[in-house]
Structure 1
Amino acid sequence: MRTNVNLNELRDAMEWVSAADAAALDCDAYVCKETGKNYWAGEGVEEEFPEDIDDGSLYVSVPHKHDFRLGRSLAIRFAQEYVSNLLQATQECFRRRKAYAVLKSMLARTGQLEAWYQCESHAIDNALREWCEEQGFNPC
């Protein structure tokens, strides 16, 4: 039997691990293979980890957003599928610093920012569902 994992809680945990300052704050998150419960660690988190959190047979580390390749490649796919007239400009965004800020600014100016957020959200949910399947979880 597969363990249920709340997809919204898993998404929050992934966002925690993927936060821009997560490395500096030592942000980690794990999912219990038996219960599906999320455990978070980092500055400001009061919850204590179970003593056996490092046991890979009992807990699995929540992946970083980059592990799903949802950055540049997703933005390029979005441009190809939804705003092909912005494909070259989208590619150029990723040749600069602060690529996402530049991308979001461009999409806001062209009225496509909400479509981007929906595309990104859908891709994250799909990636998390696939990850759950690979880990033996049932996303719900």
Structure 2
Amino acid sequence: MVTVKHEDLSESLDFVSFGEPLEHNAAYVSLDTGKIYWTSDFIDAADEELPADLETSDRYLAVPDKNELGLGRNLVLRFIDQELPACYEQIEGFFRRKGAYARFKDLLERQGKLERWYAFEAESLKSALRQWCAENELEMIE
């Protein structure tokens, strides 16, 4: 089984989740080596030569974005349901407009729950990546 470092996979997930919907940021895990390759329309990959068949071979697996792993809005709502259920509708309303995460984190700070959110988010991220790796026959190591 090929191994991949948690830190590298987590950074790759952030990379593919960053930016506007039409921006092309992608990351691929080599199923032969565990090496992760990043591609983007907005960065120069001259530092590292990318395999020619990166986007077409079945030997590379695309790293999902946070929403594909349920780590976006759904994660926020799970947290709120557990920690501040009285604020659920208010938080849900935040996600109907831009700037939702800033308003969400501001509310958490006022409620004294921001550090709890960061711990919940980190553990959920690790768990989702571990599950994704297992489903794709990869071993995630610390």
Counterpart secondary structure, 2:16: helix
Aligned residues: 138
Pairing 1:74–2:75 present: yes
Runs of at least 4 residues of structure 1 off by over 6 A? Answer: none
Amino acid paired to 1:38: I
Displacement of 1:82 after TM fit?
Answer: 1.7
- Which residue does the alignment assign to 2:125? 124
Identity of aligned residues (%): 34
Q: What is the identity, as a one-letter code, of the residue corresponding to 1:16?
A: F
SS of alignment partner, residue 68 of structure 1 = coil
Q: Which amino acid aligns with 2:15?
A: W
Measured in 2, the distance between the counterparts of 1:91 and 1:19 equals 22
**Counterpart residue type for residue 99 of structure 2:** K
2:12 and 2:74 map into 1 onto residues whose CA distance is 22
Shift of 1:44: 3.8
Gaps of 5+ in 2: none
| Separation of aligned partners in 2, 1:92 and 1:71 | 15
Q: Which residue of 2 aligns with 1:35?
A: 33
Judged with a 3 Å threshold, the aligned counterparts in structure 2 of structure 1 residues 127 and 37 are, in CA distance, closer, same or farther, namely: same
Residue matched to 2:53: 52
CA drift of 1:21 comes to: 4.3
- State TM-score, norm by structure 2: 0.87
CA offsets, 1:14-60, max 9 Å, x none? 10111124743x32110000111101112144322111212442100
2:90 is the counterpart of 1:89: yes
Over the aligned positions, Cα root-mean-square deviation in angstroms equals 1.7
For 2:5, the equivalent position in structure 1 comes to 6
